[in-house]
Amino acid sequence: MQHHVLIVEDEPDIAEMIKMSLENNGFHTSHVDSIAAARVLLGSEKVDLALVDWMLPGGSGIELVRFLRKNEVTKLLPVIMLTAKAEENDVTAGLDAGADDYITKPFSPRELNSRIKALLRRSHAALDETLQTGRLLCNTSNHRVSVDGKTLALGATEFNLLQFLMSRPERVFSRAQLLDHVWGPGTFIEERTVDVHILRLRKALKPYQLDSLIQTVRGAGYRFSDQD
Ligand code: CA
């Protein structure tokens, strides 16, 4: 299956470099240079992953990511932000808005390819089964997580993280292990990214008083447990 990657980037040279590199690696690509054009395209075509530049004409890429997460059709769409800024605050803002990953310019086509493949892998990693712990249900075939029949809005990474931990209850995993298992081996991601996604997962579970299922084990990592 050929994956369709949407490139939202206003710098023609960078967009062209990304497009060529992805197409050489077997991806089908579409390129738009504004948030407005991205919205139009996403309304009419199925996209498997979006690369979203930080600074776009008419707004920030973060605005587009927020829009994607609010939209029923695109809320699980894997998103990688392309950022020229390496400051921690900006990276965190991108992840907080719902991006699954970020890559700092300048990046090599090879690194970008590897990030895209890793993100697609963890988005498709679902096994076809339903996991249940008390009121919490995780359906790995349709990627729905629900409590008392109500569906939780989770990003692709939060879903994969929950599924991974939930299918291995009581086991403690370090951040590095979670990166390997959930993000995929050989990804260029910092360990604090794991904390951001854990926080987001807890936030989604909190309205149901289920955030305590995702436990921090001091000095060791995280575990999924319904025991105190
Ligand atoms: Ca730009």
Residue 217 confidence (pLDDT): 95
| Confidence check: pLDDT of 128 > 60 | no
* pTM score over 0.85: no
Percent of the chain with pLDDT over 90: 61
| Ligand 1 centroid – CA 215 distance (Å) | 39
| Ligand 1 centroid – CA 227 distance (Å) | 48
Give the residue from 127, 145, 177 where a domain finishes: 127
Pair (118, 43) in one structural domain: yes
What span, in angstroms and rounded, lies between the C-alpha atoms of 174 and 179? Answer: 9
**Measured between alpha carbons, how far is residue 154 from residues 40, 67, 70, 89, 99 in Å?**
24, 14, 11, 22, 12
Residue 152 confidence (pLDDT): 94
| Confidence check: pLDDT of 228 > 80 | no
Taking only the tens place, the pLDDT of each residue in 64-119 is: 999 999 887 788 899 999 987 666 677 778 888 889 998 988 899 999 999 999 89
Question: Which one has a higher pLDDT value, 6 or 93?
Answer: 6
Pair (104, 135) in one structural domain: no
Cβ–Cβ under 8 Å, residues 202 and 154: no
| Ligand 1 centroid – CA 190 distance (Å) | 24
| Ligand 1 centroid – CA 118 distance (Å) | 24
| Ligand 1 centroid – CA 83 distance (Å) | 8
Pair (110, 134) in one structural domain: no
| Confidence check: pLDDT of 1 > 70 | no
Question: Which one has a higher pLDDT value, 104 or 222?
Answer: 222
Q: Count structural domains, the chain.
A: 2
Give the residue from 127, 146, 168 where a domain finishes: 127
Pair (164, 72) in one structural domain: no
| Ligand 1 centroid – CA 14 distance (Å) | 9
What span, in angstroms and rounded, lies between the C-alpha atoms of 108 and 187? Answer: 14
| Ligand 1 centroid – CA 28 distance (Å) | 22
Pair (50, 66) in one structural domain: yes
Pair (12, 95) in one structural domain: yes
| Ligand 1 centroid – CA 8 distance (Å) | 9
| Residues spanned by the domain of 191 | 130-224
Pair (76, 137) in one structural domain: no
CB burial of residue 188 (10 Å; 0-12, 13-18, 19+) = middle
Q: How confident is the model at residue 62 (pLDDT cuts 50, 70, 90)?
A: very high
CATH of the domain at 73: 3.40.50.2300
Taking only the tens place, the pLDDT of each residue in 19-40 is: 999 999 999 999 999 999 999 9
Pair (74, 187) in one structural domain: no
| Confidence check: pLDDT of 47 > 70 | yes
Pair (104, 31) in one structural domain: yes
| Ligand 1 centroid – CA 75 distance (Å) | 23
Question: Which one has a higher pLDDT value, 71 or 16?
Answer: 16
When mean pLDDT is compared across 13-17, 78-82, 117-121, 197-201, the lowest value belongs to 117-121
Name the average pLDDT for the chain.
89
Give the residue from 97, 127, 157 where a domain finishes: 127
| Ligand 1 centroid – CA 114 distance (Å) | 22
| Ligand 1 centroid – CA 58 distance (Å) | 11
Question: In sequence order, which residues have a C-beta less than 8 Å from that of residue 180 and are 6 or more positions away?
Answer: none
Pair (120, 168) in one structural domain: no
Pair (8, 78) in one structural domain: yes
Residue 126 confidence (pLDDT): 42
Pair (170, 113) in one structural domain: no
CATH of the domain at 219: 1.10.10.10
Dihedral (C-alpha) 20, 26, 28, 34: value to the nearest 10 degrees? -40
| Ligand 1 centroid – CA 185 distance (Å) | 30
| Confidence check: pLDDT of 205 > 50 | yes
